[in-house]
């Protein structure tokens, strides 16, 4: 019944954990879900207010423009200027996305021919691989290893792979490893993309979720980045707006135009009222972002300290709302965590083969719940 391309999709490895979670809940267990990469905090009220007002205005009830509302794209450009010192032309170098997932899912359609190779960091956001498969490309995973600070080793990619490579997906601050990348790595990517004629697609969903005074760079700060690539960004994680579906792609004109051509034929843009709320988010006071970060930072400290007190070795992440913990077998550990402690964490292998041996905790629950989780883990066999 289904097309081959659906059969070609990787198995959904989180299904077993999802099933177990439902079973536990049905059995009356108070499950602590540290699995979801979705902020538990609400969207700041000033942003919600703009949506309410804009939703009442009939001018916003029509089809949006394909490329996005000019005021939203201008707000994105001025946010990039203020935040990263990056200059982008809102007309040609910025496009509105219905969440950055949408951009990641569509970009291979514009650049990948059947049989072309797409490089993607592994473990990685699963859409890098599935969007490649939908475009009938071949995904070549780049292992992220702890000894390399979870950065890919670009020099180790075989020449015959590089000759067939069209596109490269990567993202720092990284989901799921929570690793960060210095600007020097982005400079290296620009060189690499230029030499090998590769479209570089940086996924920067977590640049604003940072701790201990760390400020994350944009890929577009790298010299020459506008010649080779684009950056996908999103309001989802920064402003607790996952449900609103609003993001942006910024960077190279031709790449943005290619993505735009695909989108024009598939979707009809993001709701104008949502884009206007996005303008408020990007141009309004940013104290809400600092407050969210301080909440995540406190949670991170409680979880990391707790895990260490139980004898686990774990890094305190400088960014993202994830803690990446080394374990023996990621699937078995996640299953035991749920079975013996009623805690959901995501098995690393679900993000790619190189994620095996890790689990990901999302600190999208309160300090009280995280404290409770650590307490329950004390009773777990190691
Ligand atoms: C959350 C996330 C996204 C997608 O976010 P949107 O809600 O679609 O904007 C993209 N990449 C990574 C790594 C993410 O964690």
pLDDT in tens, 19-43: 899 999 999 999 999 998 999 999 9
Assigned fold of 4-43+287-380: 3.90.1150
Q: What is the pLDDT of residue 382?
A: 65
CA 223 to ligand 1 centroid distance, Å: 25
CA 28 to ligand 1 centroid distance, Å: 32
Give the ligand 1 atom nearest the CA of 125.
13
Q: Is 320 in the pocket of ligand 1 (CB under 6 A)?
A: no
Give the ligand 1 atom nearest the CA of 235.
9
Q: What is the pLDDT of residue 18?
A: 86
User: Of 3.30.1330.10, 3.40.640.10, 3.30.465.10, 3.40.50.720, which CATH number belongs to 45-283?
Assistant: 3.40.640.10
- Taking residues 72-93, report their average pLDDT: 98
Looking at the chain, the whole-number percentage of residues with pLDDT higher than 70 is: 99
Among 62-66, 73-77, 254-258, 369-373, which stretch is predicted with the lowest mean pLDDT?
A: 62-66
- Residue 65 CB-density burial (10 A; 0-12 exposed, 13-18 middle, 19+ buried): middle
Average pLDDT, the chain: 96
Q: What is the pLDDT of residue 305?
A: 98
> pLDDT band for position 75 (50/70/90)?
very high
Q: What is the pLDDT of residue 381?
A: 67
- Taking residues 293-303, report their average pLDDT: 98
CA 173 to ligand 1 centroid distance, Å: 12
Q: What is the pLDDT of residue 380?
A: 85
CA 32 to ligand 1 centroid distance, Å: 23
Is it the case that residue 53 has pLDDT exceeding 80?
A: yes
Which residue among 98, 123, 125 has the greatest number of ligand 1 atoms within 8 angstroms of its CB, and so is best to mutate? 125
Is it the case that residue 174 has pLDDT exceeding 80?
A: yes
Six-digit token string for 248:
């942006």
Looking at the chain, the whole-number percentage of residues with pLDDT higher than 90 is: 94
Q: What is the pLDDT of residue 13?
A: 75
Residue ranges of domains in the chain: 4-43+287-380, 45-283
pTM: 0.97
Q: What is the pLDDT of residue 379?
A: 82
> pLDDT band for position 17 (50/70/90)?
confident
- Taking residues 162-184, report their average pLDDT: 98
Residue of the CA atom closest to atom 1 of ligand 1: 205
CA–CA distance, 378 with 306 (Å, rounded to integer): 9
CA 242 to ligand 1 centroid distance, Å: 8
């Amino acid at each position: 019944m289904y097309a081959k391309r659906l059969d070609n999709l990787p198995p959904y490895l989180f299904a077993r954990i999802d099933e177990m979670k439902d079973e536990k809940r049905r059995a009356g267990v108070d499950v602590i879900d540290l699995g979801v990469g979705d902020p538990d905090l609400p969207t700041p009220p000033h942003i919600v207010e703009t949506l309410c007002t804009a939703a009442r205005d009939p001018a916003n009830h029509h089809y949006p423009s394909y490329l996005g509302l000019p005021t939203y794209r201008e707000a994105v450009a001025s946010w990039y200027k203020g935040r990263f010192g990056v200059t982008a032309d809102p007309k040609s170098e910025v496009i509105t996305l219905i969440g950055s997932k949408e951009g990641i899912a569509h970009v291979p359609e514009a650049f990948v021919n059947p049989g072309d190779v797409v490089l993607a960091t592994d473990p990685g956001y699963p859409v890098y691989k599935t969007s490649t498969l939908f475009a009938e490309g071949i995904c070549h995973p780049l292992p992220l290893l702890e000894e390399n600070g979870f950065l890919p080793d670009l020099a180790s990619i075989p020449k015959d792979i590089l000759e067939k490579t069209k596109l490269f997906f990567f993202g720092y601050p990284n989901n799921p490893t929570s690793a960060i990348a210095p600007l020097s790595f982005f400079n290296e990517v620009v060189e690499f993309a230029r030499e090998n004629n590769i479209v570089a697609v940086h996924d920067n969903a977590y640049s604003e979720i940072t701790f201990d005074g760390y400020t994350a760079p944009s890929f577009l700060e790298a010299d020459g980045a506008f010649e080779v690539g684009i950056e996908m960004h999103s309001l989802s994680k920064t402003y607790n707006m996952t449900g609103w579906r609003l993001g942006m792609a910024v960077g190279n004109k031709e790449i943005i135009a290619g993505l735009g051509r695909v989108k024009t034929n598939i979707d009809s843009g993001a709701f104008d009222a949502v884009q206007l709320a996005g303008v408020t988010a990007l141009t309004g006071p940013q104290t809400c972002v600092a407050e969210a970060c301080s909440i995540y930072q406190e949670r991170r400290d409680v979880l990391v300290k707790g895990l260490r007190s139980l004898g686990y070795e774990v890094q305190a992440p400088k960014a993202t709302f994830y803690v990446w913990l080394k374990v023996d077998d990621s699937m078995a550990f996640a299953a035991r965590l749920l079975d013996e402690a009623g805690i959901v964490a995501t098995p690393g292998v679900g993000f790619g083969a190189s994620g095996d041996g890790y689990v990901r905790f999302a600190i999208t629950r309160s300090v009280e719940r995280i404290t409770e989780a650590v307490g329950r883990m004390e009773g777990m066999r190691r």
